[in-house]
Chains A and B, each alone.
Chain A
Amino acid sequence: QSALTQPASVSGSPGQSITLSCTGTSSDVGGYNFVSWYQQHPGKAPKLMIYDVSTRPSGVSNRFSGSKSGNTASLTISGLQPEDEADYYCSSYTTSSTVVFGGGTKLTVL
């Protein structure tokens, strides 16, 4: 299975909104509403931010939102804050009943 495609880096200023993309195929992202997003700070374990395309787990800020169109899923962070600076990974369920991750996007808050 091939990794989902994410931009290597994205940057934004405090208060801005940014959108991270995650592109797969009809065998994963496009085929199921089972896309998740994770935030990972250096030296820490990943934290689940969005699951099932657009659902936020309890305790996750409503500044984080998810969506999907075709084979591409998106994570939008509004009102960007310095603590949002981290690596972000998407994942998807696949037709083979497996899970595939994206390569990750490094978000820099300028």
Chain B
Amino acid sequence: QLQLQESGPGLVKSSETLSLTCTVSGGSISSSSYYWGWIRQPPGKGLEWIGSIYYSGATYYNPSLKSRVTISVDTSKNQFSLKLSSVTAADTAIYYCARLYTFASYDYWGQGTVVTVSS
């Protein structure tokens, strides 16, 4: 059974860079034709797509976040990562990693990790 687990600091200072890692277990991140993605959910609000990456490194980003986002993959560790620079309070959210099953469907999700941006 495929499992995804987010990890990283739960508190980030304003203007700094948020860094999270998603560890995939129960399957290889590079052995199948899937993209892997990050989605976030501010407190009490809806889901926002951040971006996706293929094991080869090909990426797609939300245009509204593109200037601040970098998603990378480490196939040797079966992990992919998110970096979001110049964070503000508006970046406070639950951050989820997930597997992109088809073009817009995420079938396996991590449990989510809460990131708070403090001033």
Contact = CB atoms under 8 A, between A and B. Distances in A.
Binding site secondary structure of chain B: strand
Given A36-B104, A93-B104, A98 B61 contact: yes
A45 B104 contact: no
A19 B101 CA distance: 25
A46 B47 contact: yes
Interface stretch (B16-24, B74-82, B84-92, B108-116): B108-116
A1 interface: yes
B104 A46 contact: no
B46 A101 contact: yes
Contacts of B101: 48, 51
Contacts of A52: 102-103, 105
A53 to B, nearest CB: 10
B105 A104 contact: no
A34 B102 contact: yes
Contact of B106 (A35, A46, A98): A46
Contacts of B46: 3, 89, 101-104
Interface residues of B, number: 25
A45 B111 contact: yes
Interface in A21-69: 32, 34-36, 38, 45-48, 51-52, 57
Contacts of A93: 103-104
Nearest to B108: A48
A45 B62 contact: no
A45 B48 contact: no
Contacts of B102: 34, 36, 51-52
Interface of A: 1, 3, 32, 34-36, 38, 45-48, 51-52, 57, 89, 91-93, 96-104
Interface of B: 37, 39, 46-49, 52, 60-64, 96, 100-107, 109-112
Given A3-B46, A45-B112, A99-B49, 4 more contacts: A1-B64, A45-B109, A48-B105, A51-B105
The 6 closest A-B CB pairs, nearest first, are A51-B105, A34-B103, A36-B105, A93-B103, A45-B109, A93-B104
